[in-house]
Structure 1
Amino acid sequence: MKNQVERLWLVGMFISCLVLSGCKEAPQAQMETTYEVMTLAPTDRVLLSNYSATIRGRQDIEIYPQVGGTLTKVCVTEGQRVKSGQALFIIDQVPYEAALQTALANVEAAKASLATSQLTYDSKQELYKQNVVSEFDLSTAKNSLLAAKAQLAQAKAQEVSARNNLSYTVVKSPADGVVGTLPYRVGALVSASLPEPLTTVSDNSDMYVYFSLTENQLLGLIRQYGSKDEALKQMPEIDLQLNDRSAYPQKGRIETISGVIDRNTGTVSLRAVFPNENGLLHSGGAGNVILPVQKTDALVIPQVATYEIQDKVYVFKVVDGKAQSAHVQVTRVNGGKEYIVDNGLQAGDRIVTEGVGLLREGTPIREKTTSEPVVTDNQTKEE
């Protein structure tokens, strides 16, 4: 019985060894790994660059009173859309109406004085012809007439000034737009020297979007298009990303490029215009301008073909059938899914595009081919 048990134990051990050896041999056939490899060739890509931007109305007009006085009426509300010439505020008109009446009275008095001076001069002329009065008397009468004419002109000028001042008591909108904040209410004492305006009227039919480029980026644009004027003519339409990261539905165009580089920041200011038919954009807002830049004859690699070490980007080139790491300088495109190689690779180089994180320097690279057999479940079962 003991011998039989020993024989069974030996048979079990033999079978276990066979099973274990079979398990070890199975992965041996899978040790040789293949990798996808791509050959670099020049191609064209569009770079989408983001720039912080500020949004302004086509016109942001600060409204200040031209005369002083007490506000008697506020004719608009904040955010109201107004037309050119529409009344915004009314300043106490009583003192200005009185000033106008005084100016009118002065005009009438000056007219009467002029008429008297004219009669005196005409009379002196007749008497002078008859040698009744001297030439001095005639000249004196003439001078009095000229003074009366000047007094009338002065009185009329005062009338015009008084009428203007009275009209200025009705503060009107100088353009179509939207009313801003209203810091002053009825009863407030206002004047032309206010620390802040009565309100701001913004023309929001089209919106100006301001952003900046570095000097090097500006030079790149000029080299690409030949001149600044040609860049403005040929540059494609741009997109706007709003402050909540949503995309503005309408495209804009760059209208102007400043000819002066800011010494403090080393940047140049650009102005784009966007339509604002739905009133979605507001003066004083912020966002990001998305500027497309055409890149020709660029070397483009997928992001998965790279790995990073201490913020530096590397790829594995295939050299003599082995992996060789190479440091590259890249620009992100297509949302970061692709890189444009700025330095470190050249056309014709071959790089590994999968499994990069598992590779090591000198790893043998066997390239995948479309002719490699694919093992199906049915084939496995038959074997």
Structure 2
Amino acid sequence: MLRFAAAGILCAALAAPAFAKDEAPAKQLFGAVKLPSSSPAQPFGFYAKGCMSGAVALPTDGPTWQAMRLSRNRRWGNPQMIALLQQFSQDAARLGWGSGILVGDISQPRGGPMLNGHASHQIGLDADIWFTPKPAQPLTPQQREDMPFTSMLDKSKFLTVDDRRWTGTHAKLVMQAASYPQVERVFVNPAIKKKLCETWRGDRSLLGKVRPVYGHDEHFHIRMACPPGATSCKKQAPTPTTDDCNSKELAWWFTKEPWAPPPKPDPNKKPVKPRQVTLADLPNACSVVLAAPSRSEDAATFGGAMAYSAQPAASAPAQAVGTVMESSLPLTNVPLPSPRP
């Protein structure tokens, strides 16, 4: 069914005349759309170069979650992602993560490039989770706009987790996210990956899904694999099946190279203005996705009146994911942090 729906949209895109706004920056076109398309749910393209049809919204409030920064209108995703977040929020609460999770950006109503903040999050299969638990007292809409992030790093030291803030429950939360079969990657700050390598005593193979990336010290990023049958979704390379703690990739972050200042531009050369991504740079189907009729917000809110039967997100038992932590486990062959250049 998904293949036929994708093929239909793609054929329509190929047969349609050139979109009138082909030369406008794609981020402006997708950023201006307030509601999802009424077509079947489907990701098109890659996580950082694509769009999505048939998105659904995470309800702003749930028993074990709250959506943050509502003014951004980025709580839309593939139905399987929204189902996963709701399952994860329940598991997080069982782990002792407050009363649940605070959910940051997922995607725009039709995916696509964003005006600011992300290069990915374009096909409805990425979501940000705050390193702050949902409080017992629900946050007001204004508090969700103003509440600051909390970094897990010790700002006085180079790439070091702040042990006054980081706890075993933080580790369990990240590893719970990595435990779901449909989750392909969990992006965290390199210092957090190193901390998990040093301390995690649960299933070490799950650490291969936890990938070190710049930033991600105030939140972590869940990325689902392309859903089964979504032939229009471009897959990533598989993640390591080991903990990957002694990899060159992780060690590289603790060298001077990532932090070296960029070379000074040649004053004799005319500056080159960065080229904006346009609709023509995205998969052909995105033109039709952008122009498609809208579904109302009520009809497209997950769990409301929408024509979609989501399958429950598979999950490992919350208690089985993170029962053993040990702060003294040594890490070999990974450079220790040194003063930042």
Q: Output the TM-score relative to the length of structure 2.
A: 0.21
Q: Which has the larger radius of gyration?
A: 1
Structure with greater proportional strand content: 1
- Structure 1 length-normalised TM: 0.19
Higher helix share: 1
